[in-house]
Amino acid sequence: MATMLMGEAEILCDDRIIVRDGPEGLRIHGTWSHGDVPEVSPNSAPLSALLFLKKSERNCLVPIKDKREKFRKLLPYVIKPLETRDWWEKMLNLIQKIAGSVPCYSLEFDKSGGVIELLKEL
């Protein structure tokens, strides 16, 4: 949940983020509900890719192309504070838009730190 700002990473949030669809397209926003990192940015950034993390013995970035698979992977990450019919319709439409327009990857990584080079390719 970091963005690049003039060559440096900026942490929007290390726990929960908000995705909003507005005139500028899909954007991510940090929240007050951060985890262990106390210094988070109040800025937002375009949602340019989603990475589903997976510990591995190698570092690789595996594209997820199937929209249905993207949808299934995204659904568990939706926080469900208001479970009304209207709310669910809005969330399902947003997830559908994300699955249809945002590149998604399975990011497999080990503890070597070599994964950073893969992220620079995005």
Residue-wise pLDDT tens digits, 92-120: 999 999 999 999 999 999 988 888 888 88
pLDDT at 92: 92
pLDDT at 100: 95
For residues 64-90, one letter each, b for 16 or more C-beta atoms within 10 angstroms of the residue's C-beta and e for the rest, the string is beeeeebbebbeeeeeeeeeeeeeeee
- State which residues form the domain around 65: 2-120
Residue-wise pLDDT tens digits, 16-68: 888 999 999 999 988 777 677 777 777 889 999 999 999 999 999 999 999 99
The label of the residue with tokens 């970035």 reads 61
Q: Which residues contact 73 (CB under 8 A, 6 or more apart)?
A: 52, 64, 104
Domain total in the chain: 1
Higher pLDDT, 45 or 8: 45
